[in-house]
Structure 1
Amino acid sequence: MKNIFSTDDSKEFVDRINQLKNDSQPIWGKMSVDQMLAHCNVMYEMVYDDVHPKPNSFLRFVLKSFIKNKVVNAIPYPRNIRTAPQFIISNNRDFELEKSRLIDYINRTQQLGEKEFEGKESLSFGKLTSKEWNNMFAKHLDHHLSQFNV
C-alpha cells in the first residue's frame, strides 16, 4: 500500500494523474476521465470542504458496522464495485479543473501529514487512524488510476 503522507508516494500519484488526457478511456467501468477525477475529489471534499451532508445516525451506524472495514483496509477494491450515491458523478466535468483540484488535495494531505489525520473524524465512519485514512485515500486513487491504465 502506498503512503499518501509520503512525499515520494504522493508524487507518484500526481505523476500518474498527469499522464491522464482529457480523452483517456477506462479499461473498465462507465465513468469518463473527467467524471473519475471528480469522483476521486469527493473523498477529499468530505475532509476539506463543507459541501456534503453528514449521514444521519442510523446510516452512519450501518456504514461504520458494515462498510468501513472494506474501505479502510489494505485489500484493493474489485473492479466495478458499487459506489455510494454521493460519489456518483453523472454529468460532464471540466477535466483540467478536476485534475488540478485532485492534485491540490493530494499535496495538501501529504503536507498536513499523518499526525493531522490520527484520530480525525470521517464524515461517514467516525474517528479513523492515520493508517485507515491512508488506506482509504491510497487504494481509492490506485483503483481509479489503474482503471485508466496509468
Structure 2
Amino acid sequence: MKNIFTKKVTEEIINRIEKLTPKSQPIWGKMSVAQMLAHCCVTYEMVYTDKHPKPNKFTRYMMKLFVKNIVVSEKPYAKNGRTAPQFLIVDDKVFDTEKKRLIDFINKTQQLGEKEFEGKASHSFGNLTAKEWNNLFYKHLNHHLQQFGV
C-alpha cells in the first residue's frame, strides 16, 4: 500500500484529483463527482471536526469486530459496496468547493505526518496504528479515484 503520509504519494493523489472535472462520470456507482469528493471528505471530517457524532459503545464494538479489518487492511474495497450512513451523500454538492476541501484535508494529513497518527483514536474503531490510518486514507481515496477513471 502506498504511503499517503509521504509528499510524493500525496502529490500523486492530488494530481489524480486535479484530473477530475465537474462532468467526470463514474465507471460504477451512483454518486456524482462532487458527491464523491464530499464523500471522501467525511473520513477527514471525522478526524478534524465534530460534525459527525461518535457511534455509541455498542456500535463501536460491533464496528471493530466486523468492519475495522475491511477498512484498515490492504485488501481493496469491492465495487458498489455498502457504506456507513454518515458517508452517504445524497444532496447536490459544489464540485470546486468539495475538491478544495478534500485537497486541503489531504495536505493537512500529510503535513501532520505519520507520528501524529500513531496510536490516534479513530471515530469508530478505537486506536489505530499509523499504518492502519494510512490504509484507511489511501485505500478509500484510491478506490473512489479509480471509480472515476483517474
- Normalising by structure 2, we get a TM-score of 0.99
Q: Does 2:5 match 1:32? A: no
Please report how far the alpha carbon of residue 127 of structure 1 lies from its aligned counterpart in structure 2 after TM superposition. Answer: 0.2
In 1, Cα distance between the equivalents of 2:56 and 2:22?
37
In the other structure, the counterpart of 1:70 is 70
Q: Tell me which stretches of 4 or more aligned residues in structure 1 moved more than 6 Å.
A: none
Please report how far the alpha carbon of residue 20 of structure 1 lies from its aligned counterpart in structure 2 after TM superposition. Answer: 0.3
Please report how far the alpha carbon of residue 34 of structure 1 lies from its aligned counterpart in structure 2 after TM superposition. Answer: 0.3
SS, match of residue 134 in structure 1: helix
Please report how far the alpha carbon of residue 70 of structure 1 lies from its aligned counterpart in structure 2 after TM superposition. Answer: 0.6
Aligned residues: 150
In 1, Cα distance between the equivalents of 2:28 and 2:2?
22
Letter in 2 for 1:13: I
In structure 2, list runs of 5 or more residues that go unmatched: none
In the other structure, the counterpart of 1:130 is 130
In 2, Cα distance between the equivalents of 1:130 and 1:108?
15
In the other structure, the counterpart of 2:91 is 91
Please report how far the alpha carbon of residue 2 of structure 1 lies from its aligned counterpart in structure 2 after TM superposition. Answer: 1.4
In the other structure, the counterpart of 2:57 is 57
Letter in 2 for 1:79: K
**RMSD of the TM alignment (CA)?**
0.4
In 2, Cα distance between the equivalents of 1:100 and 1:78?
27
Query: Between the two proteins, what is the percent identity of the paired residues?
Result: 65
1:49-88 CA distances to partner (integer Å, 9 max, x unpaired)?
1100000010000001110001000010010010000000
In the other structure, the counterpart of 1:15 is 15
In the other structure, the counterpart of 1:107 is 107
In the other structure, the counterpart of 2:81 is 81
Letter in 2 for 1:68: K
In 2, Cα distance between the equivalents of 1:128 and 1:52?
19
Letter in 2 for 1:38: A
SS, match of residue 96 in structure 1: helix
Letter in 2 for 1:117: F
